[in-house]
Amino acid sequence: MMTHVDESVGLARLTLLCDSAHAAALRHGRPVLASLTDDMPTLDPLAFFAAAASFDERALWLQPSADFALVAAGAAWVSNATGPERFGVVRSAWHGLLVDALVDGTGGPCLLGGFAFDPERPSEGQWQGFGDARFVLPRIMLARDAAGCHITLNVLLQPGSDPQAESRALMDERERLLARLAGGRGSVQTASELESAEVLPAAAWQAIVAGASAAVRAGDLRKVVLAREIRLQAERAFDIDAALHRLASAYPTCTIFAISHGERTFLGATPERLVRYAAGELRTACLAGSERRGATAEEDRLLGEGLLLSVKNREEHAVVVRSLRERLSGLCDELIMPDTPELLSVSNVHHLYTPVIARPRAGVGLLDAVERLHPTPAVGGDPGPEALAYIRAHERLDRGWYAAPVGWLGHDGAGEFAVGLRSGLVAGRCASLFAGCGIMGDSDPSREYAESWLKFRPMLAALGGVTR
């Protein structure tokens, strides 16, 4: 925690910044953002997220193997958007907020949030508050990377604001949060008994898969991804913070994410980056085709080699590669990607993986790429519009934010989005977990059903459930 001298200096800087932002708000007749960043001693992002439990809005973006994290507490500003134009609405609102923003310190303000998978699919009650798109500018944000750790404070000054009161209130919030962080976390909740139920019975889901496979063979589609949902109920409220610790420990090479709105939290450990923008480059990847890990080193090696040689999985992966190349060609001058996929292995599954580097044309930003890429064939299908229509007509599931873009966007245009896979929505004692499978013409419904259980395992284990 900061010393009294540090706090006094920070308050003085924040007050001065808020005074200037308030003066600008009076001149322009509209709110102006003040954003102050201070260097901090190294802090544990998971502990910081836990300490922020009293805030109605909080978010976590954690990449353990890269030592990179963003943690958000509270909301200084929120951008909501609906319908197919949601990407452009968020982009315009963010750019509009930044026009007059006063930023002090390195780092600066960031948005954290995400999008729904399909805005044309009516949402059910369990996703209430998430919407088609929701991005939050946190009042307090921790950022950590290999170079250090800092905290950014954000406040929106209205023409009628009291800048001194605003700065004092925000600094007090920060100090209370840091005090809770210094106090440590209580004992981690032990697993409780869980009741689970499949939203669609196994036979019903496998019949849907058989129908989709027939549609691919008939030439209506080249691929379609079908998802399943299971629902859990526990004796007491699920321990979100313990679940995130388990995910970070078990999947250090994945992106661990959590977005909390009120009592609901969407969280997971996704292996799939949608797109990252930094230093003038877009980086993305194709991830499609999977196989379980082996019980022994030899079995694991054979399973991995079998995946690399699998005609069905290589064809599924090739669909994703072709689609990504087509979608990015309109945004980028150059694409760099290998000719054949490699193996990406996480703790419970092997994937076929092709990394991609793209150099975007002038004026192309991160949200332009997100809009163009989502949904990828790895989570929707191919051709995209026909696959989405098929999913709406046949899947019988409200995906909400599952398999959709979640991530962050910085004030300088940098940022990263991942695909919300290996994920679940938790509210108190209830949780919904999601998993999907890519369906091709030769897909076996029983094998796809078994594969879906592999993809449920990360969240089942994180929430204290029994894996199968």
Active site residues per annotation: 223, 272
Report the candidate in 221, 167, 179, 191 with the shortest Cα–Cα distance to residue 21: 167
| Pairwise CA distance, residues 19 & 25, whole Å | 10
Residue 305: DSSP 8-state: H
Inter-residue contact 350 to 293 (CB < 8 Å) = yes
For residues 436, 80, 245 and 464, what is the CA-based torsion angle, rounded to 10 degrees? -50
Inter-residue contact 110 to 141 (CB < 8 Å) = yes
Inter-residue contact 362 to 208 (CB < 8 Å) = no
Residue type, 125: G
| Pairwise CA distance, residues 287 & 271, whole Å | 8
Report the candidate in 421, 407, 365 with the shortest Cα–Cα distance to residue 136: 407
Residue 12, SS3 per DSSP: helix
- Cis ω before 405 (30° cut-off from 0): no
Residues in the chain: 468
Question: Could you tell me the two tokens for 250?
Answer: 């078990």
Kindly tell me the burial class for residue 123, based on how many C-beta atoms sit within 10 Å of its own C-beta (0-12, 13-18, 19 or more).
Answer: middle
Report the candidate in 412, 106, 405 with the shortest Cα–Cα distance to residue 278: 412
Across 170-209, b (16+ Cβ under 10 Å) vs e yields: bbebbeebbebbeeebeeebeeeebeeeeebeeeebbebb
Inter-residue contact 343 to 353 (CB < 8 Å) = yes
